[in-house]
């Protein structure tokens, strides 16, 4: 593997000159820059990113905080972000917080120690760390933020409620997501507005977390508490899939006896039978847009970002025909 000394020798300059060219720090003539860059290309030299970050006080790394990597929604966020970052010469560092604020703080401190250029935050926790480091919120939010990428939660919620109401809804149950997230509240408000517009009565089943690890327990509790429900509006696809599984185990015909609509549009929902009807978020695009917003923030091209992406309805097979 080539070293900076090898580059300096081939280019016929000092190691310090190579360092200045690589780090774009200090003066070097155009002719010298051409020689150094040619030597770098010929030797396939890769600068030590950690050492470089210590010198520049920032790196080509970006941190990403996810709340629950077992939920297929969040790896897709990561994939979209990674794609955009890689296209622009950056690499992604992942922190899976498992919805634990102490673990999140540990990851943030680690990111800062490694001189990340910025952090993409998908955990929804209120940002209480250094304001000097650029950050962008994606999907979840707990307060209004200058840099934010989300989908249209209100209209997505309204669309979910509307599709249920148009299909012989009967007794409806709305699973309400965690109230500390403004995005979740917007979604809930959209659903309730649709149910009110169509004059459909409904019960509420509150869910304290979106965690996929407890989705089976939530589904079991749902069937213990509600024995005569005709329609379920799930908080997300993982809860919708868990309810679908429990319904089939109990011999309940879906969608004839129980219809279900999820939210997110994860690919897993299309791989089961019957396939889950859902509201699809543009998950990959959300990850890409969050990464773009962060890099724009890092180089100072934008003062704020509030990107709201559209959602759409996926028909699936867990909803009845229109009445």
Q: Taking residues 75-85, what's their average pLDDT? A: 97
Q: Taking residues 17-39, what's their average pLDDT? A: 81
Say if residue 6's pLDDT is above 90: no
DSSP 45: -
Q: Which tens digit of pLDDT belongs to each residue from 182-212? A: 888 999 999 999 999 999 999 999 988 777 7
Structural domains in the chain plus CATH codes: 4-47 (1.10.260.40), 59-151+283-309 (3.40.50.2300), 153-282 (3.40.50.2300)
Q: What is the pLDDT of residue 257?
A: 97
| Calculated CA dihedral for residues 251, 255, 256, 258, nearest 10 degrees | 70
Cβ 288 vs Cβ 84: under 8 Å: yes
How far is the C-alpha of 157 from the C-alpha of 202, rounded, in Å? Answer: 15
DSSP 17: H
Q: Which tens digit of pLDDT belongs to each residue from 268-321? A: 999 999 999 999 999 999 999 999 999 998 988 777 888 999 999 999 999 999
Q: Which tens digit of pLDDT belongs to each residue from 228-276? A: 999 999 999 999 999 999 999 999 999 999 999 999 999 999 999 999 9
Say if residue 51's pLDDT is above 60: no
């Amino acid at each position: 593997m080539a070293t900076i000394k090898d580059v300096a020798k081939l280019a016929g300059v000092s190691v310090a000159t190579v360092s200045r060219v690589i780090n774009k720090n200090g003066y070097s003539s155009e002719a010298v820059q051409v020689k150094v860059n040619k030597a770098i290309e010929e030797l396939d030299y890769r600068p030590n990113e950690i050492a470089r970050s210590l010198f520049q006080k920032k790196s080509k790394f970006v941190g990403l905080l996810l709340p629950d990597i077992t939920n297929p929604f969040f790896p897709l966020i990561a994939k979209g972000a990674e794609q955009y970052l890689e296209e622009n010469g950056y690499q992604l560092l992942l922190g899976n917080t498992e919805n634990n604020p102490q673990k999140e703080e540990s990851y943030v401190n680690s990111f800062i120690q490694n001189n990340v250029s910025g952090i993409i935050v998908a955990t929804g926790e209120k940002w209480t760390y250094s304001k000097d480091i650029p950050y962008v919120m994606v999907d979840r939010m707990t307060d209004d933020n200058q840099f934010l990428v989300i989908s249209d939660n209100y209209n997505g919620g309204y669309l979910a409620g509307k599709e249920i109401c148009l299909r012989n809804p009967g007794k409806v149950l709305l699973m309400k997501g965690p109230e500390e997230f403004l995005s979740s509240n917007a979604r809930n408000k959209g659903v309730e507005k649709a149910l009110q517009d169509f004059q459909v009565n409904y019960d509420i089943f509150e869910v304290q977390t979106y965690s996929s690890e407890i989705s089976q327990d939530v589904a079991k509790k749902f069937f213990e508490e509600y024995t005569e429900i005709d329609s379920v509006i799930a908080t997300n696809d993982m809860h919708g899939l868990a309810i679908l599984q429990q319904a089939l185990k109990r011999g309940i015909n879906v969608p004839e006896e129980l219809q279900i609509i999820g939210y997110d549009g994860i690919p897993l929902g299309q791989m089961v039978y019957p396939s889950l009807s859902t509201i699809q978020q543009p998950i990959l695009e959300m990850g890409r847009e969050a990464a773009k917003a962060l890099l724009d923030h890092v180089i100072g091209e934008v003062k704020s970002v509030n990107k709201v992406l559209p959602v759409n309805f996926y028909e699936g097979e867990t909803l009845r025909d229109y009445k």
